[in-house]
Amino acid sequence: MLWFYSQDRRTIRIETRYDNRAAEYVLVVHWSADHRQEERFATALLFQKRLLELEMQVNAEGWRKDGPPLILPDGWPDTSPNH
């Protein structure tokens, strides 16, 4: 999924997906055109915890959601992932 946040003329793009080859949850944050941060998680619990932390961070910094999330056609688990 993709989420977009905006503040003034700046934007953040947050991407969440599942890497089937590595069996990991992936969080990618594009803070600007030239700054990309990728984090990987072995379990859904750790992944969800980090997403909540990130959401609280961007909200506290004054970022606002810019439209609904976009569902990506890929990036879903092929089998039941670790929890």
Per-domain residue ranges of the chain: 2-65
Query: What integer pLDDT is reported at residue 80 of this predicted model?
Result: 67
Give backbone dihedrals phi and psi of 7, rounded to 5 degrees, phi first.
Answer: -155, 115
Spell out the long-range contacts of 73-81 with Cβ–Cβ below 8 A and sequence spacing 24 or more.
74/17, 75/1, 75/16, 75/17, 75/18, 75/26, 76/17, 76/18, 77/18, 77/20, 78/20, 79/20, 81/18, 81/23, 81/25, 81/44
How confident is the prediction along the chain (83 residues), in pLDDT tens digits per residue?
999 999 998 999 999 999 999 999 999 999 977 899 999 999 999 999 999 999 999 999 999 999 999 988 777 777 666 65
The whole-model pTM stands at: 0.85
Query: What integer pLDDT is reported at residue 83 of this predicted model?
Result: 57
